[in-house]
Amino acid sequence: MIVGSGPAGAACAKALKNEGIEVLVIEKDKLPRNKICSGVLFGQTQVLLDQYFGGLPPEEVYCDPKIIKTENILEWNKKRDFSPMSGNCPKMAGHSRKISTISGGASLIIGF
């Protein structure tokens, strides 16, 4: 059982399912929901999604507009601590990580 379907919970569920382990993910919040970050995929997040999930989410889960302008954001960079970032980032629906969890074969309970 994994508590929480955020990035860590989704990645853990996917990794366990890849090893053939049955997984149940429980999430207290009803989905989708509005939140400030709502699925913005910064640079390192895109790298990790590709590494652990085999690519970025499918086109149908992106918001409109798909790309947002960013500035004054610090992003973790292992080589240099935090790095300033400015540019464009894809923005996807906040519940798409949950879709990834389910597509990995995990059972999901939400809104309890």
Most distant pair of Cα atoms in the chain: their distance: 42
Per DSSP, 57 falls in state: P
Judge whether 3 and 86 are in contact, CB under 8 Å. no
pLDDT averaged over the chain?
Answer: 72
Q: How confident is the model at residue 86 (pLDDT cuts 50, 70, 90)?
A: very low
Greater confidence (9 vs 61) lies with 9
- The crossing angle, in degrees rounded to 10, of helices 7-18 and 96-103 is 10
What's the domain range around 62? 2-110
Strands 24-27 and 2-3: parallel
Write the pLDDT tens digit of every residue in 31-75: 666 555 656 777 777 787 788 778 877 777 777 777 766 666 666
Number of structural domains the chain divides into: 1
Judge whether 62 and 95 are in contact, CB under 8 Å. no
